[in-house]
Amino acid sequence: MTRIAIITGTYKPQHCGVAHYTARLREVLKQEDIQSVVLTTYAAATEAKDSSVRGVVEDWRFTDLMSLVRALHLTNADILHIQHAAGTYGFDRAIFLLPLLLKATGYNKPIVTTVHEYGWWEWQPKYLPPQFLEWLKMWGQSRGWWDREDGFLLTLSNAIITTNAEAEKVLHQRLPQFQQRIFSIPIAANVEFTPVEQTTARENLRKICNWELNTIVIVFFGFLHPVKGLETLLNAFQKVLTTSPQARLLLVGGVESLALRGEEAKRYWDKLHALARELNLGNKVYFTGYLDAETASEYLAGADIGVLPFNHGLTMKSGSLLTLLAHGLPVIGTQHNIPLPSGMRVQLVPPRHVDALTDALCQLLNNPNQRSSIVEAGCAFVEQFSWSRIARSHLKIYQKNEIGVLQS
């Protein structure tokens, strides 16, 4: 039986997309007889209450690295898999040195790193002159010793997995000598469809929200955060009501996340509710807060139109997009400079554009035939993205590394 050691900056699936991805990956790998142990912070492990989730570091500073190295030597795992997004490690850069320290201490197991985000954040220490730092980054990167963003993390990994086209493109540009080590495994829906009779789901949702049965429900799904375009959505929804009074808005998701914590999260939650009151939306908008996966799926199954008005545009990095499509919803999103795949039927509008979003919503609200045609195309497309496919893709990479096809 293969055993994988997984390092993740935090392991709080309710509050972090990368942690949620990791938890789902572990589930599907277990079905393939792949056992895993997670190494993370003491705080995250305590909250997890799972013996396979081990706290081995206080944080991700340089002083914590040797504790992590010792823990890895003791796991007796066949492969090390690092789940990396800078924010999940608090933007601390010590993790960039981990592969170097492991090799220096005799660690010889294959290392796989999944890059969830790449190409947007770099270490910029104030004590080094910018010109010298830039020269140093490029000098090592051109030789394949390190890369300008993640130090030794990628160049000393046996395999590099990307979850999105944006990261993959930048990786190939920066590390052309590592092309054979770079693999693309797109994400899947972060909430899978829970089989439910649609009429029942529609009735239950409207009963919970105290809405009439003939209402048409527009749903947003995902963490509530200032970059998600929710202010634009609320303002657009107010305009929608002037011509489509039967419309209702459902916001499915919690506000507490790694990107928005504690008091800051509460302030944003209060701000959205205050805006809804200011716009006189009354009971026509409903905030669910955090829901478990099965309950969220039941809510989505009762909705009619999905909307994701992200301020920076919609990309295939969005598990929320795949989730809405998997639940048979026509989706309105916002344009990004990297286009969505041609087979994905999503109606796109400019970000932060209230009138454009209003028009798109009204068009779908008043055109059930158009909604149906978009749904058919979306369901066919999303079948390509499944957790079983993700598991198989990981197995192929693990097997190649175990037999030494990929050498560091």
Number of folded domains that form the chain: 2
Other C-beta atoms closer than 10 Å to the C-beta of 146 total 22
CA distance 352 to 135: 38
**321 pLDDT exceeds 80?**
yes
Residue predicted with more confidence, 252 or 92: 252
The answer to whether residues 244 and 182 belong to one domain is no
Q: Are residues 119 and 204 in the same domain?
A: no
Tens-place pLDDT, residues 149-191: 999 999 999 999 999 888 999 999 999 999 999 999 988 888 8
| Domain membership of residue 268 as a residue range | 198-382
Q: What angle do CA 354, 356, 361 make, to 5 degrees?
A: 95
Confidence at residue 87, expressed as pLDDT on a 0 to 100 scale: 86
Residue 408 included in any domain = no
For residues 160 and 302, membership in a common domain is answered with no
Q: Kindly state the helix (H) or strand (E) to which residue 199 belongs, with its residue range.
A: helix 198-209
Tens digits of residue pLDDT in 99-132: 999 999 999 999 999 999 898 888 788 888 989 9
Domain co-membership, 177 together with 213: no
Quote the pLDDT of residue 408: 42
Is 303 part of a structural domain of the chain? Answer: yes
Question: pLDDT digits over 63-88, tens only?
Answer: 999 999 999 999 989 999 999 998 89
| 112 and 210 share one domain | no
In this prediction, residue 405 carries a pLDDT of 41
Task: Reply yes or no on whether the pLDDT at 403 is more than 80.
Answer: no
The verdict on residue 284 lying in a domain is yes
Question: Of 44-58, 125-139, 149-163, 288-302, where does mean pLDDT reach its minimum?
Answer: 125-139
Q: What is the pLDDT of residue 272?
A: 97
366/392 same-domain check: no
Question: In this predicted model, what pLDDT tens digit does every residue of 353-400 receive, in sequence order?
Answer: 999 999 999 999 988 877 776 666 556 666 677 888 899 999 999 988
| pLDDT (0 to 100) of residue 378 | 59
Residues 166 and 206 in one domain: no
Q: What is the pLDDT of residue 407?
A: 43
Does the structure show a pLDDT above 60 at 15?
yes
pLDDT recorded at residue 406: 44
Give, in order, the Cα–Cα distances in Å from 311 to each of 172, 189, 317, 322.
27, 21, 14, 18
Residues, the chain, total? Answer: 408
Instruction: Tell me, yes or no, whether 248 and 395 share the same domain.
Output: no
User: What pLDDT band is residue 315 in, cutting at 50, 70 and 90?
Assistant: confident
Q: Look at residue 271 and tell me if it is in a domain.
A: yes
Q: Are 168 and 50 contained in the same domain?
A: yes
* pTM for the model: 0.82
